[in-house]
A and B are shown apart, each in its own frame.
Chain A
Amino acid sequence: MSALDAIKGNWRVLMLVLFLTFAVVALFVPGGIVADDSLAEESIESGPTNLEFGLSLDGGTRIRVPVTGMTAENVAPDAVSDNGEVDQQRLDSIESTLYQELGVDQADATVDVQDDGTVTAEVFVENVTEAEFAAALQKANADASEDDIRDGVTEQTRDQMISTIQTKINEAGLSGGTVYEASTLNDEHYIVVEVPNMDSNELRTLLSERGVVQVVAYYPGEDGNQTKKPVLTNEDIASVDAPELRGEDTPGEPYYVVPVQVRDSSASEFQQQMNDLGFTSEGVGKCDLPEENGNFQFGEGSGSYCLLTEVDNETVAAHSMGDTSSGGGSGLATNMRRGNWANDPSFFMGAQNQQDAQSLSVNLRAGSLRAPLDFENSQIYSIEPSHAEQFKQYSLLIGLLSVITVSGVVYARYTDTRVALPMIVTAMAEVVILLGFAALIRMPLDLSHVAGFIAVVGTGVDDLVIIADEVMDEGDVNSARVFQSRFRKAFWVIGGAAATTVVALSPLAVLSLGDLRGFAIITILGVFIGVIITRPAYGDILRRLLTNQ
């Protein structure tokens, strides 16, 4: 037999060997087939293989949560002209009518032009009814009845929230966190946040913080009573630097500040307001708002001129403006009074402690969440890394035990090593190839995938049994032709069985039923690898063993 014939005659086995080699390389060679050094380093740290593990085997938290809010679509066709020009004044007027009529914060109602050129109004609070929303829109001369209002928010809002949450997670120093959107059959959408190494309460706290940062002027109004007036919001901030410690060598407690740069567009207005309200004249250095257990006592300390830092309507710090900076140069008040602050509009936002400063900085950088998340209707899964590690070991053990059991049964049935041994080896090869594939595409493995692997061993061996029985049917195989014909017959059944398994599991691979998607994907992949690569190869091996050719 020439070399070419040998290849021709055994190409199925060669394919199997080829795939196995690829799988082993993908699994064990650091960096795998994708020779990327950055990934290689990571995998050396994480374990002996290139396999990636998901939450249930590695620890961490996943939250699936919908966004609070309702939406009225196409409310003001008049605000956008045919050539795409937007009447911003009209949008603003609808928006401010909504604030007034519904009594909600500025952050909780918005009117925006969507990508398709329609105008959408959204309200992000729970205690407003559809009827109230519709009535408020009508007050604003917008085109909306109660029936036009649906639950949920717009895609634009969700996309923005996803990128905000992603930034928040990155800023909080959590690597490997992912945020994505998922939808249900009845077109409800929710946001899925997955973070390794964080417990559920921490993540929930991070996500439930809306992060609306405001700088509020607190000053004696015209009637002599203290008045609050918002002067800057997240949107006015251009850039943020890392928090710094201040006041270590001055009397009083040290405090933290977050250096920020105000947008040029807002700077002169802010400067003007500070001058008008007296912060840069009679109010310089005058902030004596009493504080108890971290809560500021408003109503006392009259005559104060404080710049309050508010996060989600809670005051986290109160400071006055000074005439000299801590470095000894001219202070904020001086520069503003002279009118040259707006040329280099940077200042410091105060915070009580390092943690507040850190979260203030995260909130400023990530921006505020456009809408709150509805934790009442959420799904949370969280597992400690040590516990997950146990699951990992147990899964390996369960997998091994299943393979041993299957081998035992197969051997007991055939009592012929020539038939049973290649069967077991082939079934295991299938799992190795599948694992290699998972490592190659860096699919994070979860418990559900483990179940999938065991199911694959099950179906795989089923098919091998069909092949073995068919091939050995009616006595010994004495020619390659007989073998081929029997093998083809066996394949008809295997193909039919494979088709039903794929059809039965594909809804699960598409539908969002959480954990089950992994199970379905692995099983379907396993069936394909089996039908295309491993099972034909088993036929070849069996033929060689039984016919000596």
Chain B
Amino acid sequence: MAYFDVPEIDYPRYSNRQLAAVPLAVLAVALLVLSGSFLVYGTPVPLGMDFAGGTELTVQTTTPEGQIPAAFEEQPESVTGAGGNEYIVRFSETDSQTLSEQARENLEQDGNSELVQSVSSTSASFGQQSQQTALLGLVVAFLGMSAVAFLLFRTFVPSIAIVISAFSDLVIPLAFMRLTGIPLSLGTVAGLLMLIGYSVDSDILLNNHILRRSGEFYESTFRAMQTGVTMTITSMAAMLVMAVTAFVFNIDLLQSIGTILFVGLAADLMNTYMLNLSLLRWYKFEGIRS
């Protein structure tokens, strides 16, 4: 079996500015994508059914995919095959009763199985409420995480380094969602919240090794990296597998959580070992000690 080792990076070669430039540039691009999207579409990320309202039917039918839209009076927003004779049909309309009746009347039944396998529908007002709740949840989670970071280290620079890199860990997957068209759903919100928890682990580890241990700076950094990178890669692998298999089986919730966490953890690798590290090095060697 192939095994992996965490490579030792020649940090002294790069200045703090150089190190921080890359993650900051990526963060800037991500923020640009989100604000641009906000100006053009009105929302930084595309909103899924959970937040915008709409109906989703999972139908099992022998009617060919191309003819499915014709079964409904309302033009579906999308029809996606879900393996076998299963299709997921999405509407912006929220009258699920009428839609599922139309499906039952106009689509061909596949053997004995129920035509409408699953219905889920959210009204616009309900979506609006969920949006506010989710936003509040994210803000509270982020503030709570920041408070814990400050409590743990009780010094400004190392704590703020954690907060900035966690912020970037959230913003980058959000921009990724906009670029790839993954809508914001309950699943992706869960992924983002989980990310706050996950991404801080390696930051705490790094700060802890550098600030609270004896030993030379680069030596401590390398040791923290060995552990931290292993942790992140393990989680990324688990999330990738979850995202891919959930994609194959068409389980939206698990797929979104997996994808968001995978992208976010990748961003976290960069943020922790470039952004957070450069801030720490600056604090350790040049910063004003408080």
Contacts and interface: CB of A to CB of B under 8 A. Distances in A.
Given A413-B3, A500-B145, A500-B196, A465 B238 contact: no
Q: SS class of chain B's interface: helix, strand, loop or mixed?
A: helix
A261 B238 CA distance: 64
A319 interface: no
A512 B133 contact: yes
A382 B115 CA distance: 13
A384 to B, nearest CB: 5
Interface in B124-150: 125-126, 129-130, 132-134, 136-137, 140-142, 144-145, 147-149
B35 interface: no
B251 A394 contact: yes
B198 A398 contact: no
B233 A516 contact: no
A407 B155 CA distance: 37
Contact of B241 (A381, A405, A461, A496): A405
A493 B204 contact: yes
Contacts of A170: none
Nearest to B151: A499
Contacts of A382: 118-120
Interface in A183-205: 184-186, 188, 199-201, 204
B287 interface: no
A21 B223 CA distance: 37
B229 to A, nearest CB: 9
A370 B58 CA distance: 34
B67 interface: no
B1 interface: yes
B238 A511 contact: no
Contacts of B253: 447-448, 451, 515
Contacts of A447: 251, 253-254
A412 interface: yes
A465 B134 CA distance: 32
B242 interface: yes
A469 B230 contact: yes
B227 A459 contact: no
Contacts of B227: 465-466, 469-470
Contacts, number: 244
Given A458-B198, A497-B204, A383 B118 contact: yes
A426 interface: no
Interface stretch (B23-31, B93-101, B269-277, B278-286): B93-101
Contacts of A415: 1, 3
A411 B97 CA distance: 52
A492 B208 contact: yes
A376 interface: yes
A411 B196 CA distance: 27
Interface stretch (B38-46, B69-77, B187-195): B187-195
B233 A409 contact: yes
B120 A402 contact: no
A378 B123 CA distance: 6
A437 B246 CA distance: 26
B234 A186 contact: no
A502 B132 CA distance: 21
Contacts of A451: 187, 190, 242, 253-254, 257
Nearest to A455: B194
Nearest to A208: B97
A200 B119 CA distance: 7
A500 B148 contact: yes
Nearest to A188: B129
A264 B245 CA distance: 66
Contacts of B190: 448, 451, 508, 516, 519-520
A410 B227 CA distance: 11
A342 to B, nearest CB: 45
A201 B119 CA distance: 10
Contacts of A386: 113-114, 117
Contacts of B119: 199-200, 380-383
Interface in A376-395: 376-384, 386-387, 390-391, 394-395
B79 interface: no
Given A379-B122, A397-B249, A410-B234, 11 more contacts: A199-B116, A204-B97, A378-B121, A386-B113, A390-B249, A413-B233, A455-B194, A455-B257, A461-B235, A505-B193, A513-B134
8 shortest interchain CB distances as A-B pairs: A501-B197, A503-B144, A504-B196, A469-B227, A383-B118, A504-B141, A497-B201, A462-B231
